Copies of this chain bind each other. A is one copy, B any other.
Amino acid sequence: MYDLMRTLKYAILGLLNQKSMTGYELMKQFESALCEFWSAKHSQIYPELKRLVDEGCVVYEIEISGTVLEKKVYRLTEKGRQDFHAWLSAETKLEPTPKNVARLKIFFCSSLSAEERDAFLKDQLAQHEARLAHLLHNQESFSSVPAPDTDAFGDYLVLMGAVMREEMNCAWLKKCLLLNQSEP
């Protein structure tokens, strides 16, 4: 039988476990807090929320914004909380392949001229350095390490992970550039 991951389900349940919110606010969370390790567009979120209602994992109440605009504020049910904790506690095997187009190009880079290779690697490095700078800027908002039993702890750990990932990417690309230049 199929072994469905349903990761979007658990991402949504986890966010709603932190705080009840609308589909739109969930979308904003994916764009900000989760953007370094997960993503989801509203066109995927809204149907999933409908499904989670059918499954009894979430319920919603309608709130009126302004005079007529209806917002659906979703919150976890007990079943939703249980499903989330079961997922969080389950064994987590390493995933096979973090697909990466840039690395695929580097794998094939011997088909480029030395100059093209150099330009490509420098461009990649510049992009990763820009992202790193952005992440370091975000990190400044943490004056100290949050307590492990607060939502901010997870935030802090994944931001630290993202910073280290980009530092590694920059270091790797610099090594690639050196190896390319050592044989002219």
Contacts and interface: CB of A to CB of B under 8 A. Distances in A.
Interface residues of A, number: 75
A158 interface: yes
Nearest to A131: B94
A183 to B, nearest CB: 6
A5 B149 CA distance: 41
Given A92-B120, A112-B89, A154-B110, A104 B7 contact: yes
A25 to B, nearest CB: 17
A42 B182 CA distance: 39
Interface string A152-184: 111111101100110110011001100110110
Interface string A2-39: 00010100110010010000000000000001111111
B14 A107 contact: yes
Contact of A39 (B84, B96, B111): B96
Contacts of A95: 100-102
A124 B161 CA distance: 14
Interface in A67-95: 84-85, 88-89, 91-95
A116 interface: yes
Nearest to A81: B111
Given A5-B101, A92-B101, A148-B179, A153 B37 contact: no
Going nearest first, the 9 A-B pairs with the smallest beta carbon separation are A37-B103, A168-B168, A39-B97, A107-B154, A14-B108, A37-B100, A94-B127, A110-B153, A161-B172
